[in-house]
Amino acid sequence: MPEKKQETFTVTDRRLFTSDGEPRTEAEQKETREPATSPAPAQAATQGAPPPTQEPEMPPVPTASQQQEQADAYRQSSKDLDSRVELSGHSAKDLEMTFERFMASIYMSAMLQLGLMQEQGGQPRIDLIGARQTIDTLSLMQDKTKGNLTRAEETFLQNCLYELRMAYVEVTNALSRPQDPAASAAGIVNPDIAKR
């Protein structure tokens, strides 16, 4: 019986920050980017292992000056839009994004996905997977912003999550019930949803 060679492997630290939370220096980053030694492709084929795949290259990060230039252009464009809004007789303050408006936008998206709201003149469409992902996104935001919200923002977020979770359960339960033949003949897909 042939002897088995003990295989070795190399662990490469690819983190961008040190254990202290400081950014790694370029020298440390270059060290970690060097590929680990692997058996020759012919050896890999004989061992039955697929050849190693290379990670796709990411585009370079914009330089600080490019980012500053882009931010300045964005601010100028926003000022121009605000001026046009003010000239039309409306307040530019109405366009400011607040945490509550952001949450309300996500809430409305989930309600549309649940089929509980629809565009004017349109039919309700149900996208349960999209609704679940939207609700999970709000839940993720609740976890990530814990301790950083005002009492009003926290209450608003909790209410949004409560209402959306309850609506999700109602819609999924209504869709799982057998349909009433009389309602189907009348064109109502599910009478519990149609009542809303």
Which pLDDT score is estimated for 150?
94
Angle in degrees, CA 114, 140, 115, rounded to 5: 5
**Residue whose pair of structure tokens reads 């999700």 in the numeric block:** 168
Which pLDDT score is estimated for 139?
96
Burial class (CB in 10 A: 0-12, 13-18, 19+), 115: buried
DSSP state string for 27-38: HHHHHHHSPPP-
> Left (φ > 0), alpha (ψ -120 to 50) or beta: where does 187 sit?
left
Contact 189, 163 (CB under 8 A): no
Task: Indicate whether this model's pTM tops 0.85.
Answer: no
Contact 74, 82 (CB under 8 A): no
Which pLDDT score is estimated for 186?
47
Nearest to 193 by CA among 148, 143, 131, 133: 131
Helix, coil or strand: residue 190: coil
Residue-level pLDDT, tens digit, the chain, 196 residues: 556 666 776 777 777 767 666 777 755 545 545 444 544 544 444 455 566 677 788 888 889 999 999 999 999 998 888 888 888 888 888 888 899 999 999 999 999 999 998 888 888 889 999 999 999 999 999 999 999 999 999 999 999 999 999 999 999 999 888 876 655 554 454 444 545 4
**HSE-CB for 129 with a 13 A CA cutoff:** 0
**Residue whose pair of structure tokens reads 């950083």 in the numeric block:** 148
Contact 10, 37 (CB under 8 A): yes
Nearest to 7 by CA among 47, 42, 35, 45: 47
Which pLDDT score is estimated for 163?
96
